[in-house]
Structure 1
């Protein structure tokens, strides 16, 4: 008997496992979770997140009524208000005048703007990479950051609190079911996979830029092609 093909979500997860591990294994991430950075090192991550989610959530509005991508747009995932609250808490009400994204973040945000507002499958790729990561390792990072940096009242870590998603595991399972229900051509599947891999490379480059905050020096990574 022939083995049934793996669902698309399983194939996508398997094909990107190495890239995902490379991003999560960056020295900045381990130092942040271990509490080895000062608060400015954490604040810098929040600044980068704001630039990225500004681009992604703008694309989400453009895709809200799209027959392919619209089913992934969910206000329960929206992060911009939480990020702006975190920046106000950590850097003051004039944070926008005193902070700026790194060039690696600008390149990542520019890529999202270039493709996610017009290509449904590439929008899904960036949406999947960011939000499923937020609901997986991101929740662990949020708890660690709150504990390590004395933000246990929730102030400064609102980004990691999905108040409208009470069961993250069930939400992720439903999300993967939506991926599996997509009727994509082989070319569209390939484009989605390629864009997820590119998103992970961009994310790794952002973490490498943030490694300037790590006490033992910067981390070297290849530029995103």
Structure 2
């Protein structure tokens, strides 16, 4: 047993706070985010999650990754539904990743090829955020854009996870059950902070590289 879940929580607190204080997130939380910025966010996330989930699937038999591989967390298909809602059936022709999103994707590819166990840091950072603060963002987006249930907010919905809090507890337990050296745990925490850094850069891109919404 380790205490990796607690180490990740404590070790990324400052990074988490930094992400919450980006201009985009402050606008989002105050209800002032634009529809175009929100759609660019979803577009960027589509590229990030597509890569992350592809790499995790690739390594699903890895002796460590296999222990925390949970396909019920996958976001790609849900993001495709949202992008169809906002951009129409030809959405793949209308979205491109921002430079920061491209850097994020490149880092995931690099880890998959060299140190796949560090993908755990990205899975933790992204999915635990989606299951936690992401649920509040869902309600804010519904209010800002006057969305009906299951319209344009599928990214935040986890149909295969009936009890989000219980799932988060189980996921943390899985992290703590991983057999890892202290050095490797420290590397995972460091990479989780890098995941936040990549995400913050992606949030800062928003507003500078927006794709007009046509639907």
Q: Is the pair's TM-score, using the shorter chain for normalization, greater than 0.5?
A: yes
Equivalences for residues 193-212 of structure 1 within 5 A: 193-212=189-208
* Residue number in structure 2 paired with 1:180: 176
* 1:111-131 residue CA offsets vs partner (Å, 9 max, x unmatched): 011103553421111110100
2:20 maps to: 24
TM-score (norm 2): 0.92
Contact 1:129 1:199 in 2 (8 A): yes
Take 1:213 and 1:98, find their aligned partners in 2: how far apart are those partners?
A: 13
Using CA pairs under 8 Å that are at least 6 residues apart, name the structure with larger relative contact order, 1 or 2.
Answer: 2
Query: SS of 2:120's equivalent?
Result: helix
**Deviations 1:86-134 (Å, cap 9, x if unpaired)?**
0011011111112111000100111011103553421111110100111
RMSD: 1.9
C-alpha separation in 1, matches of 2:68 and 2:120? 7
The alignment partner of 1:174 has SS state of helix
Asked whether the equivalents of residues 2 and 180 of structure 2 are also in contact (C-alpha less than 8 Å), the reply is no
Cα gap change, 1:129/1:59 in structure 2, threshold over 3 Å: closer, same or farther? same
Gaps of 5+ in 2: 211-215
Alignment of 1:52-201 (within 5 A): 52-116=48-112, 119-201=115-197
1:222 aligned partner = none
Taking the aligned partners of 1:32 and 1:174, their CA distance within structure 2 comes to 30
- Cα distance in 1 for residues equivalent to 2:16 and 2:68: 21
Retained in 2: the 8 A contact 1:27–1:211? no
SS at match of 1:156: coil
- Give the whole-Å Cα distance in 2 for the aligned partners of 1:196 and 1:123: 9
- The whole-number CA distance in structure 2 between the counterparts of 1:212 and 1:132 is 28
Quick one: structure 1 residues 116 and 63, their matched pair in 2 at CA, closer, same or farther if it must change by over 3 Å? same
Partner SS for 1:93: coil
Equivalent of 2:36, from 26, 33, 40?
40
Name the stretch that deviates more: 63-72 or 45-54: 63-72
Aligned length: 210
**Structure 1: 5+ residue stretches without partners:** 215-225
- TM-score w.r.t. structure 1 length? 0.88
Give the structure 1 partner of residue 213 of structure 2.
none
Q: What's the offset of the Cα at 1:8? A: 2.3
